[in-house]
């Protein structure tokens, strides 16, 4: 079945440094979503990417969907302590299949 992996599993950065998490699928995806979960909270939807090679920005966050639609990345520029949390990607298969979640990347930001 479809598998979605994320790397790294953990990332510790100093405030102000950049951060990137990568999401890789074993199969071609129809689209991909990213979620953020703050410590003690629940995953919150961030964005959805649909087109091959698509790049979207939300303030300091840049999301990219690979040309082959099998991988994606989330890049945070100049991290802040408010960026702390776990970032999940979820890959949607074709034919309207539901999303499969990656294991998440846990980000710690040291002040």
Partner 1 sequence: GAVVSQHPSWVICKSGTSVKIECRSLDFQATTMFWYRQFPKQSLMLMATSNEGSKATYEQGVEKDKFLINHASLTLSTLTVTSAHPEDSSFYICSAPDYPGTGPDTQYFGPGTRLTVL
- What is the SS3 assignment for 54? coil
Cβ atoms of 54 and 64 closer than 8 Å: yes
CB of 92 to partner 1, least distance (A): 6
From the number of C-beta atoms within 10 Å of its C-beta (0-12, 13-18, 19+), residue 36 rates as: buried
Q: Which is nearer to partner 1, 77 or 101 (CB)?
A: 101
CB of 40 to partner 1, least distance (A): 7
Query: In the complex, which residues of this chain contact partner 1 (CB under 8 A)?
Result: 10, 30-31, 33, 35, 37, 39-40, 42-43, 45, 48, 86, 88, 90, 92, 96-99, 101, 104, 106
């Amino acid at each position: 079945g479809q598998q979605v992996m994320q790397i790294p599993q953990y990332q510790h950065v100093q405030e102000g440094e950049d951060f990137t998490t990568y999401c890789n699928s074993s199969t071609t995806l129809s689209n991909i979503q990213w979620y953020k979960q703050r410590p003690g909270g629940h995953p919150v939807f961030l964005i959805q990417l649909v087109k091959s090679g698509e790049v979207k920005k939300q303030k300091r966050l840049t999301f990219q969907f690979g040309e082959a639609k099998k991988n994606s990345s989330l890049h945070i520029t100049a991290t802040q302590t408010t960026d702390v949390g776990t970032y999940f990607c979820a890959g949607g298969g074709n034919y309207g299949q539901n999303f499969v979640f990656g294991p998440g990347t846990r980000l710690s930001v040291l002040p």
